[in-house]
Amino acid sequence: MEDFFASDAIKTEAKEHLKTRFGSAILFLLLTVILHSVVNRLSSMLFYGNIPLSEWKAMLPMDLVRRTFSETFSIKGLFHSFITGVVSAGTTLASVGFYLHLTRSEEKVSFIDMLVFGFRHVPAAFVFYLLRKVVIQLGLLLLIIPGIIWSLEYIFVMYILADHPDMPVLQAFRRSSELTRGRKMDLFNFHLSFIPWFLLVPITLGLAIFYVVPFYSSSLAVYYNRLVYQEEGMVPDAPTGIEG
């Protein structure tokens, strides 16, 4: 069991799950990115209008900062942030559900079912989205280290909400804290091992994202599954929570 959380073992399992379903993972990534981009664009046009790029380019740096700040914290800016935040929370929960299903079941994953699931439970996901932002930003303001620690401590809240949609958000925070107790350094090293992969994204002009995001997401889902399996004394391939 000593190698149960070894990065190489987790990545190998993730690749096995993706082997025959990489196309589905790429399509789901495209679907969520397009959905988020369209909503963000429509919301921007609704609340800010279609400001010509030349107008932004003509602004002096301080004028640009002042205008961006005033519009972000205006009523229309807050409405825009709310709409995009809800969509981001819903698509994130849907993506987590997608990868939990992919790493636990051989059955085909329904894109529509996952999106419906994500937006059906979007209130809890949105509350987490806000709380996580506040907690991590507070940690980063205090020092870099607390922000990193808290981000790792609560990294599995969305996974817990995907497994237990009716669980109160604060309870999901506590549950994530319990699961990651004694594992933060291991999780930190796990994420460090993906840095070379994410560096490939700009090098390949963004094309590598279609491999890196599914690979990272499925690996993180496998890590979460193993935490749950170990805690419950289950064998590594035993499915729990979200299934077909």
The per-residue pLDDT for range 92-130, each reduced to its tens digit, is: 999 999 999 999 988 888 888 999 999 999 989 989 888
Share of the chain above pLDDT 90, in %: 54
What is the rounded average pLDDT for all residues in the chain?
Answer: 83
In a domain, 40, yes or no: yes
In a domain, 55, yes or no: yes
What's the CA gap between 54 and 165, in Å, rounded?
A: 46
Task: Give residue 244's pLDDT band: very low, low, confident or very high (50, 70, 90).
Answer: very low
Question: pLDDT higher for 11 or 56?
Answer: 11
- Dihedral sign computed on CA atoms, order 14, 15, 21, 25: positive
- The answer to whether residues 99 and 218 touch, using CB atoms and an 8 Å cutoff, is yes
In a domain, 105, yes or no: yes
Mean pLDDT of 182-186: 92
In a domain, 110, yes or no: yes
Query: 79: domain range?
Result: 7-232
In a domain, 201, yes or no: yes
The domain total for the chain is: 1
Ramachandran region of residue 15, left (φ > 0), alpha (ψ -120 to 50) or beta? alpha
- The answer to whether residues 160 and 172 touch, using CB atoms and an 8 Å cutoff, is yes
Mean pLDDT of 128-138: 78
In a domain, 242, yes or no: no
In a domain, 119, yes or no: yes
In a domain, 132, yes or no: yes
Share of the chain above pLDDT 70, in %: 79
